[in-house]
């Protein structure tokens, strides 16, 4: 089949193809400010009891790798959607809590409200793409990504935020930042190597997804960032329903929904649980389901991640799902990423 390429060759695709530049420029701007250094010292001295990681949508999903990094370093960290933090978890807002708040716009309704009710009780580290925004201006320390303006659905702002969060995690955990910078330096070229074949990826996935009515994205550990964000951007870009969940959760019920109309993307992910994910992939195929494995050495070139250090895989894992959004749009003959009901910045809580 021939996919309808002209309909997808718009602003959303241009943002996807701009991701290598966004990563390179974000890396160039990363530094440890005096305030960030001071907050890191206080964390290591035990003056913060809890690190609360918060955001909405893809900004929340992007926090999965940092959450695991902090926990594995021996810190008490938790991810909380900003809306829930406002209304049900607000007792955490005290001087012993350090908040890491992620918002691409820095002015979404929940983030602005959080800044108002926190009112200096907890120290706040911001990750945002928008200098001069309420979050950038009112946080104690701010790390800016350099993705630039974005048309609609989060793509380059998401990968740039992942890079900034990786940097922040290594600052907080006292890792060698020269090594960190070298690892992150490979991200832009790796993304560029994958995207140079975007047309082939879209054609391939458009064929693979023929007759698909239900889409599942499953993984474990750091891959939950791409799982959650991938399902979200499919819904936003294509008006096509997709669910993201852990591989284990998929076995607890949704496995029953396997049919020729269902398609499962299984993220191979971290070596710690790769065998479990591989087994799920095989079980789906052996039952009556359709599936592709996403990772290094995957059978499909469209689902194969560029060779890179394990530490930056979270940045690369979203790429095949971005191609899925383009493939579904091409099949449907609609422009991907053009909002009809929602808006780029959510200003109503």
Residue 342: pLDDT band (50, 70, 90) is: confident
Residue 82: pLDDT band (50, 70, 90) is: very high
* End-of-domain residue from the set 185, 200, 219: 185
Check which CATH number belongs to the domain holding 251 and give it.
3.40.50.10490
Domain holding 239, by residue range, is 189-332
**Both 212 and 86 in a single domain?**
no
Whether the predicted pLDDT of 338 surpasses 90: no
> Distance (Å, rounded) from C-alpha 109 to C-alpha 133?
12
Contacts (Cβ under 8 Å, ≥6 apart) of 35: 140, 141
The overall average pLDDT reported for the chain is 96
pLDDT value of position 46: 96
- The secondary structure of 224-290, three-state, reads HHHHHHHHHHHHHHHCCCEEEEEHHHHHCCHHHHCCCCEEEEEECCCCCCHHHHHHHHHHHHHCCCE
| Residue 9 domain-assigned (yes or no) | no
Whether the predicted pLDDT of 266 surpasses 60: yes
Overall number of domains in the chain: 2
Residue 3: pLDDT band (50, 70, 90) is: low
Residue 4: pLDDT band (50, 70, 90) is: low
Q: DSSP labels for 159-208? A: HHHHHHHHHHHHHHTT--HHHHHHHHHTHHHHHHHHHTTHHHHHHHHHHH
pLDDT, tens only, 130-147: 999 999 999 999 999 999
Query: What average pLDDT does range 181-193 have in this prediction?
Result: 98
Whether the predicted pLDDT of 1 surpasses 60: no
| Cβ–Cβ under 8 Å, residues 48 and 76 | no
| Cβ–Cβ under 8 Å, residues 266 and 247 | yes
């Amino acid at each position: 089949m021939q996919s309808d390429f002209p309909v997808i060759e718009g602003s959303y695709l241009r943002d996807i193809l701009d991701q290598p530049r966004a990563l390179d420029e974000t890396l160039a701007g990363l530094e440890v400010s005096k305030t960030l250094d001071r907050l890191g010292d206080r964390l290591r001295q035990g003056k913060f009891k809890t690190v609360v990681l918060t955001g909405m949508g893809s900004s929340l999903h992007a926090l999965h790798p940092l959450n695991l990094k902090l926990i594995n370093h021996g810190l008490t960290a938790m991810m909380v959607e900003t809306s829930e933090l406002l209304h049900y978890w607000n007792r955490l807002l005290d001087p012993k809590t350090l908040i890491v708040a992620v918002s691409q716009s820095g002015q979404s309704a929940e983030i602005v409200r959080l800044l108002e009710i926190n009112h200096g009780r907890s120290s706040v580290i911001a990750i945002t793409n928008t200098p001069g925004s309420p979050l950038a201006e009112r946080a104690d320390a701010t790390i800016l990504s350099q993705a630039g303006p974005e048309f609609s659905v989060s793509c380059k702002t998401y990968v740039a935020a992942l890079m900034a969060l990786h940097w922040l995690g290594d600052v907080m955990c006292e890792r060698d930042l020269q090594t960190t910078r070298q690892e992150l330096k490979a991200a832009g070229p790796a993304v560029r190597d994958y995207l140079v074949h975007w047309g082939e990826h879209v054609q391939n996935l458009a064929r693979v997804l023929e007759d698909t009515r239900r889409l599942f994205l499953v993984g474990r550990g750091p891959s939950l960032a791409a799982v959650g964000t991938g399902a979200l951007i499919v819904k936003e870009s294509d008006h096509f329903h997709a669910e993201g969940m852990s591989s284990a959760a998929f076995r607890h019920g949704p496995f029953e929904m396997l049919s020729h109309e269902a398609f499962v993307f299984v993220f191979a992910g971290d070596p710690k649980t790769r065998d479990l994910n591989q087994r799920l992939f095989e079980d789906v195929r052996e039952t009556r389901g359709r599936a592709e494995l996403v990772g290094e050495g995957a059978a499909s070139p469209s689902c194969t991640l560029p060779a890179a250090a394990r530490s930056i895989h979270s940045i690369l894992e979203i790429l095949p799902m971005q191609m899925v959004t383009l493939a579904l749009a091409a099949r449907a003959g609609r422009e991907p990423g053009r909002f009809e009901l929602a808006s780029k910045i959510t200003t109503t809580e």
